[in-house]
A and B are shown apart, each in its own frame.
Chain A
């Protein structure tokens, strides 16, 4: 039996882990019904809603942990008014129990995830370092590389850099190249690689299919947002949107023709299957981006009042919890009974 603060920590770890898992599973069941509703909103609102969605399991887990600790914390803060008894932070954690098995499983999963993530990032970092070794800075602050693959991308978590291949530079007109460059600049200025990484980190609690679906949707929104930035900079919105859409199609065509070259077929054939799976709405991301560019209706925004109401609601729940109101008292004891946690 593990007692004292260590026992309490293990209990809290278990509570947080179980809440995350149960919450993520429930949300996975609801998500398919919400995708169609998401499309009604504009790009910014859709991103905000996705962030709320992936943060929700962590907020709920934090709230449940707070419920367990409420009597102690509320009392120490002088907020708890109607306490019939005090719960001291002394947990008795029984290692040989279902709680112990769950904690071990959670720790093993987390350790596995951490190690594989570190290994993958190390590999990616090495590949990137080699790539940068062969890139040359251009006159606009981006980088060029002597590659036959027509593409451009922004990469780097803390100091994102733009890389454009010479094949793309040679194949596009000045106007089209400017479009591509501005698109990548929008990614750089918005620090999109970092946002992608943070979003990916938060989706780790979801099952793989849901995780990929959420990530694919968020990635698509990031690209659409960068397209929208270029359109806004272009003066006439219709002309600019058409130019961006046409450039997108042209670059995709260049990539497709490059991939169908005889010496490329073997190398690429096994990789083409790793497409944007789980994006329920659209056939491909390019179609979604083109349709977004050509759409007359950008979607609606969430009224500011909704955000204010949400913050007030959250604050109220926290205050009510810390002051040990009636419902929190019952919830707290329900959790204790569920986990057989009685100090």
Chain B
């Protein structure tokens, strides 16, 4: 999924506002970056086709809102970047945590106990 600069700005605006129609979005961006109503309409349509925005008809116009919360959207994006990379042995990033790795709470508890025991042992050895 690729987002252009205006698409990103519109998305950020809708996350902040909640919902808006094309005139409201255009009015907001006319002050800051200009652009025609058609440009804003095309951007909203593209985002809707990518399933990033939802819309409902209100009178003659559509009211647009983000299909998911910002954190959820960005979380899905990160997951796509990291897990898609990790599932594919060709990944090119170095992550602090491998999101695809298999571990559970019991395993982590065991490791925590190991760390505590090691720290205690070394403190006793040094004293």
Contacts and interface: CB of A to CB of B under 8 A. Distances in A.
What secondary structure prevails in chain B residues at the interface with A? helix
A287 B71 contact: no
Contact of B79 (A149, A183, A253): A149
Given A152-B95, A249-B108, A147 B114 contact: no
Of the four ranges (under 10, 10 to 19, 20 to 34, 35 or more), the interface on chain A belongs to 35 or more
Interface residues of B, number: 51
A275 B108 contact: no
Given A275-B100, A294-B114, A127 B94 contact: no
B87 A274 contact: yes
Contacts of A200: 89-90, 92
A272 interface: yes
B51 to A, nearest CB: 14
Interface in B95-111: 95-105, 107-108, 111
A169 interface: no
Interface stretch (B30-38, B53-61, B115-123): B115-123
Contacts of B10: none
Contact of A256 (B5, B103, B118): B103
A65 interface: no
Contacts of A238: 119, 122-123, 126
Given A120-B88, A127-B84, A147-B74, A192 B94 contact: yes
With a 10 A CB-CB cut-off, give which of B76, B78, B86 has the most chain A CB atoms: B78
A271 B105 contact: no
A294 B94 contact: no
Contact of B107 (A222, A287, A291): A287
A314 interface: no
A147 B118 contact: no
Interface of B: 1-3, 5, 8, 70-72, 74-105, 107-108, 111-112, 114-115, 118-119, 122-123, 126
23 contacts: A133-B5, A134-B74, A146-B70, A146-B71, A148-B71, A150-B97, A153-B82, A155-B81, A157-B92, A193-B94, A196-B94, A197-B92, A211-B89, A238-B126, A249-B112, A256-B104, A268-B79, A271-B87, A272-B102, A274-B100, A275-B100, A275-B102, A290-B111
Given A148-B72, A242-B118, 10 more contacts: A151-B82, A193-B92, A200-B89, A238-B119, A256-B108, A272-B100, A272-B102, A275-B101, A275-B102, A283-B107
